[in-house]
Amino acid sequence: MTSVHPTAVPFTTEDYAARMARVVEDGRAAGLNGVLVTPGPDLVWLTGYQPTAITERLTMLFLTRDREPTLLVPTLERPDAEAAQGAPATTILDWPDGADPYDAAQRLLRADGSYGVSDNAWAMHLLGLQGALPATRYQSVTQRLPMLRAIKDDNELARLTAAGAAADATYEEILKVRFSGRRETDVAGDLADLLRSHGHEQVDFTVVGSGPNGANPHHEAGDRTIQEGDCVVLDFGGLMFGYGSDTSRTVCVGEPTPQIREVHEIVRQAQQAGVDAVRPGVACQEIDRAARQVITDAGYGDQFIHRTGHGIGVTTHEPPYMIEGEEQGLVPGMCFSVEPGIYLAGLFGVRIEDIVAVTDDGGRRLNNTDHTLAIVG
């Protein structure tokens, strides 16, 4: 079965230009002379350019106060860079094989400047810049500009909404398949196939944690045969229209035990409390506190072993994070997961997760499947 979704509205040159201008201004406000962006999600978000192969050759976008956005690329990759959606908003320079890319790069920087750098920049490139300009200083973009991609515009929200709906349709379909007597990898394969059939161009993860494996939040689906009576954690997602989905539900194979029902209901209430706490101006940590308090009050605080949520956008995990100590206030357009869980070693785990978008007066779930404990065969 293939779901039909409207085609995403393409981002325009003006969209990319506005993003780059905002990053320059945000960098200035953070005391930076500029922001340096290497291949990865930041570069895709800012320019639409994703090199076909990320190699040792330096590719870097220079967003500085004193010049137009400039993308430095290897000569052999210039045609691809020029074809990117945001290319008209940048000046493209190239360097040939055999030349020193850091010599070309230093001409675009202040000798004593302070710059934010993409978190996924290769160490060899950062060291090369430092070698060429020893007086320059570099800091992580996530540390200095944690809101870089956090607030989504209407087009981005539409893509995230479509991805969430596709993940919901996947869950509705997976409830119809056989669990008992099959391996976790079999069900994980079904999830991947369903995500693709409902419009995902990329599947990032399909967690299937049955029985005691469910007590490991990031369990990789394995060869364990799912058995009657197992509690099974399902956590799956990927990219659709370039934006992420991520949802979790916990099901039971046959009649659940009283303990499974109890734990599932506690997690359901905790997840609801986290969603209910979402509104503009509330600190991210308050979402974690709201969900965690329910679980702690029920006596399972030590079994909730991860943060309550993470941002989502062009990647499935990105800032902001719903965790104690994160005082960043929520802003309309932010999107993040609310996913409390309880994990009982050697027995089972339960997790329920929805993506939530911050609205002007609260939060809107982008996942809307039933939160009750589903029974599967």
Report the range of poorest mean pLDDT among 7-11, 305-309, 318-322. Answer: 7-11
Tell which of 144, 169, 185 closes a domain: 144
pLDDT confidence of residue 1: 41
Structural domain of 280 = 154-376
Token pair for residue 372?
A: 């009750």
Q: Choose the weakest-confidence range: 4-8, 35-39, 207-211.
A: 4-8
Same domain, yes or no: 136 and 248: no
One-letter amino acid at 166 equals: A
pLDDT at 3: 46
CATH of the domain at 276: 3.90.230.10
Residue pair 137/144 in contact (Cβ under 8 Å)? The answer is no
Structure tokens of 328? 């960043």
- Listed residues 144, 169, 186: the one ending a domain: 144
Domain boundary among 109, 144, 179: 144
Q: Can you list the alpha helix ranges (DSSP code H) found in 78-153?
A: 78-82, 101-106, 123-132, 141-144
Q: Which residues pair with 64 in a beta bridge?
A: 34
For range 140-164, the mean pLDDT: 95
Judge if 190 and 262 occupy the same domain: yes
Domain assignment of residue 107, yes or no: yes
Averaged pLDDT score across all residues of the chain: 95
257 inside domain: yes
> At which residue do the structure tokens 């997961």 appear?
337
DSSP-assigned letters across all residues of 314-339:
SSSSEEEEESTT--PBP-TTBEEEE-
pTM across the whole model? 0.94
- Say if residues 301 and 252 touch (Cβ distance below 8 Å): no
> Do 211 and 86 share a structural domain?
no
Q: What is the mean pLDDT of residues 297-314?
A: 98
**The two three-digit tokens of residue 4, written as one number:** 């039909």
pLDDT value, residue 2 = 41
DSSP 353: B
Q: What is the mean pLDDT of residues 61-81?
A: 95
The total of structural domains in the chain comes to: 2
